[in-house]
Amino acid sequence: MPQAYRYALYLAPVHAWSDLGRRWLGRCEDTGAALPRAAGADPRQDAWTRAPRRYGLHATLKPPFRLRDGVQPADLDRAARTLAAGRDPFGIPLRRERLRGFLAWCIDDERALRRMNDLAGAAVAGLDALRAPPTAGDLARRDPRSLDPAQRQMLDRWGYPYVFDTFTFHITLTGMLDDAGLAAADAQLQALGTPALQAPMPVRAVSVYVEPAPGADFVVARHYGFDGATRDGAGAHFLQGGAA
């Protein structure tokens, strides 16, 4: 069984958010295939979306990690099934925001935010025994000197600065942009919006994405429904077993 370089537990957007987000990024996270730009798209869109396109459309629950020595992909598969199984579906109203210099969809409801934070916390803690410790290089890339004390504490304990009390749910839509770029990208996204985006987005599953090799694009390995059903993506061969 091949092993991916890194694994992550993400929330994969669905319905209208998936359709728009994939077209916006120019890539399908399930298949890894490039998607054509819409007629009349701003020529800067490729540059705006270069960073998030590599990760695929998603919201982070458990950030990307390498498997600890002795841990097999099948162990992650079982843990993800256990995490998802039996949870109650819920909806999350979303709004577009400027977040730390990039555009993202964020949750626009306190109750939904609490439920999502609970799910993300369960993912971070529940899968942590599978995570290899970060290397010195991993930590250095997070630029610890730029983090506040709480973020640095999370980095040291969980290998990522934005978890639990420092976590902000978001579905990334652009890379880091200046004010002019943010305004232009925001206007383009506004023009692409549909009435369907006004309804809450259903949350009924979590998903394992994989980075097959260092620097490779992330793809979905498997979606895990709260009802126990699973659905495979292009990276399923990096997890043992098949879809139910």
- The string of pLDDT tens digits covering residues 154-164 is 999 999 999 99
pLDDT of residue 39: 80
Separation CA 119–CA 115 (nearest Å): 6
Separation CA 111–CA 98 (nearest Å): 21
CA–CA–CA angle 204, 116, 235 (5° rounding):
55
pLDDT of residue 241: 59
Residue 101 pLDDT more than 90?
yes
Q: What CATH class does 6-139+168-238 carry?
A: alpha beta
For residues 123 and 108, the answer to whether their CB atoms sit within 8 Å is no
Question: Per mean pLDDT, which range of 9-23, 29-43, 53-67, 219-233 is the poorest?
Answer: 29-43
* H/E element, 154: helix 149-158
pLDDT of residue 242: 54
Separation CA 180–CA 38 (nearest Å): 22
What integer is the mean pLDDT of 211-221? 97
Higher pLDDT, 240 or 65: 65
pLDDT band for position 223 (50/70/90)?
Answer: very high
What integer is the mean pLDDT of 90-99? 97
DSSP-assigned beta bridge partners for residue 208: 9, 222
Residue 196 pLDDT more than 50?
yes
Closest by CA position to 58, among listed 210, 214, 170:
170
Residue found under tokens 């579905």: 171
**Per-chain mean pLDDT for the chain:** 95
pLDDT of residue 154: 95
Q: Percent of the chain, pLDDT > 70?
A: 98
Domain boundaries of the chain, sorted by first residue: 6-139+168-238
Residue 117 is encoded by which pair of tokens? 């934070």
Q: Percent of the chain, pLDDT > 90?
A: 89
Higher pLDDT, 194 or 103: 103
**What is the residue type of 155?**
L
Residue 161 is encoded by which pair of tokens? 């600065």
Separation CA 195–CA 68 (nearest Å): 44
Separation CA 89–CA 12 (nearest Å): 14
Contact residues for 114 (Cβ-Cβ < 8 A; gap 6+): none
* H/E element, 54: helix 50-55
For residues 212 and 219, the answer to whether their CB atoms sit within 8 Å is yes
pLDDT of residue 40: 82
pLDDT of residue 2: 87
pLDDT of residue 244: 46
For residues 104 and 173, the answer to whether their CB atoms sit within 8 Å is yes
pLDDT of residue 38: 80
Residue 125 pLDDT more than 50?
yes
**The model's pTM:** 0.95
Higher pLDDT, 2 or 121: 121
